[in-house]
Structure 1
Amino acid sequence: MNVSLILIVEDEDKIAQILVDYLKNDGFETQVLNTGLDAVETVKTTEPDLVILDLMLPEKDGVSICREVRQFSNVPIMMLTAKVDEVDRLIGLELGADDYVCKPFLPREVVARVKTILRRVQSTQNTNDSIGQQLSYRSITLQCDRYVCLISNQRVELTPVEFRLLQTLMASPGRVFSRDVLIQFSYSDGRVVSDRTVDSHVKNLRKKVSAVTGSEELIHSIYGVGYKIE
């Protein structure tokens, strides 16, 4: 059985060590970086299963790191932040983070969320066969067994949440999905997710699609209801 590697990018030694201790206690391997300088290169070379990323880091901040990582990888990213303002939380999600935890936090909660995210990713990979290994609509193709998105034959990196959102919409073109339904398909842990968070993920997904397709609008919002692809 493969052991999941968790990359922790946190400049406060005490916090980093607490995370290491709790994660190792639950059977995870860990690697720690105390600055953001080498974080992107480390993700490329070690290919961790999940990244715990502090928002405020010396030399390179978490926002910049998240943005750069999303150019080449859909590795799950959990943001750590001392900022509690909702806009700051959504900044990370719009950049492609999969979850966030506010400081101070309970270490057991972080470990529980790590497990949930990894289960969700694995569950998505394991259940892709139920809707076919490949899903196509217009210029978009999802290779579900490989977790790959191709738009006009160009590979586009999506976060796990973005992939599941697009997968849900593409499975039934023309059908309008409410935000509540999209939450159910995209989050399997029963976590409370606001409509605003769903809108943020859809906004980011639209940007990635339109960056390749140009002016072609595929994901449509239905006022007061939700979203559809058509």
Structure 2
Amino acid sequence: MTSATIRSQSTPEPRPRVLVVDDEVPLLELVAGYLERDGFDVETAPDGASAVAKARDWAPAIIVLDLGLPAMDGIEVCRIVRTFTDCYIIMLTARVEEIDKLVGLSVGADDYLTKPFSPRELVARVRAMLRRPRPSEQAENIGSPELVFGSLRIDIAGHEVRRNGESVDLTRTEFDVLAALASQPRIVFSRQQLIEAVWGDGWMSDPHLVDVHIGHVRRKIGDDPSSPVFIRTVRGVGYQMGAGA
């Protein structure tokens, strides 16, 4: 065995990077500690400006982002971060109103947790997100690099969507929801089936977030829910990809 082989075998796998953003320092340190003990490489940021800078320079796999930051709040941070990365974003909110959750998701967050929460639950949620099955990769493996539905083209390999030749900007989760539906257009997916296809069967969040992400995809591809062309709602069952126009 050569020395190069020994070095190769002893080189540890890189640890997944998680950026934790919260202005409550005790909570910030608590969450960071739990994640570090579970094997993550963790950076922290106490405010929005430093969060954006670290997200740009450090390229985390997941950002745990507090909604109620001072000055630049979590919504604005999420909006800016989404201009240069498609990393997963878990939003933390102390507010219980549904509108806060939906607004956070509307600017590109993938999931949310409401404070107070168990740090162990957050770690489990981060783990589950990194294990997501990536339906776009599954579609790529079955030899369907591009899926066409009328004026809508979904480039699986390039992770790109075009409508009438114009690029559609989807988040990673939105793209995976669309790819899951498009890769099996004859199937009517229930919420649970979409959860298993996109988030994995260990996902522990609100199943109605599926509806939120479907709504965002429809809006971005110009699909009127009252008269849908691409994503059809099958009442009492779920969602199905249509033929398009």
What is the TM-score with the length of structure 2 in the denominator? 0.79
The C-alpha deviation readout for 1:139-186, integer Å capped at 9, x for no partner, is 44444455x123145554433432221112111335433333223322
Greater shift, 135-144 or 62-71, is seen at 135-144
What is the aligned partner in structure 2 of residue 49 from structure 1?
61
Matched, 1:18 2:53: no
Greater shift, 177-186 or 106-115, is seen at 177-186
* Count, aligned residues: 225
What is the aligned partner in structure 1 of residue 146 from structure 2?
135
2-structure distance, mates of 1:87, 1:95: 13
2-structure distance, mates of 1:134, 1:54: 37
- Equivalent position SS for 2:131: helix
What is the aligned partner in structure 2 of residue 6 from structure 1?
18
- Let me know the Cα RMSD of the aligned residues: 2.7
Structure 1 segments unaligned to the other structure (5+ residues): none
Query: Contact 1:161 / 1:186 at 8 angstroms: preserved in 2?
Result: yes
- Equivalent position SS for 1:166: helix
Q: Which has the larger radius of gyration?
A: 2
What is the aligned partner in structure 2 of residue 150 from structure 1?
161
Match among 62, 71, 79 for residue 67 of structure 1 = 79
**Identity value in percent:** 37
Within a 5 Å distance, the mapping from 1:169-208 to structure 2 comes to: 169-191=181-203, 194=206, 196-208=208-220
2-structure distance, mates of 1:38, 1:140: 38
- Equivalent position SS for 1:59: coil
2-structure distance, mates of 1:8, 1:192: 20
Q: CA separation of 1:7/1:155 partners in 2, compared to 1, >3 Å: closer, same or farther?
A: farther
1-structure distance, mates of 2:14, 2:138: 20
Q: CA separation of 1:128/1:223 partners in 2, compared to 1, >3 Å: closer, same or farther?
A: closer
Query: Contact 2:128 / 2:199 at 8 angstroms: preserved in 1?
Result: no
The C-alpha deviation readout for 1:162-218, integer Å capped at 9, x for no partner, is 22211121113354333332233223134455553221110111122229xxx9942
Structure 2 segments unaligned to the other structure (5+ residues): 1-12
The C-alpha deviation readout for 1:86-111, integer Å capped at 9, x for no partner, is 33223322332222112122111111
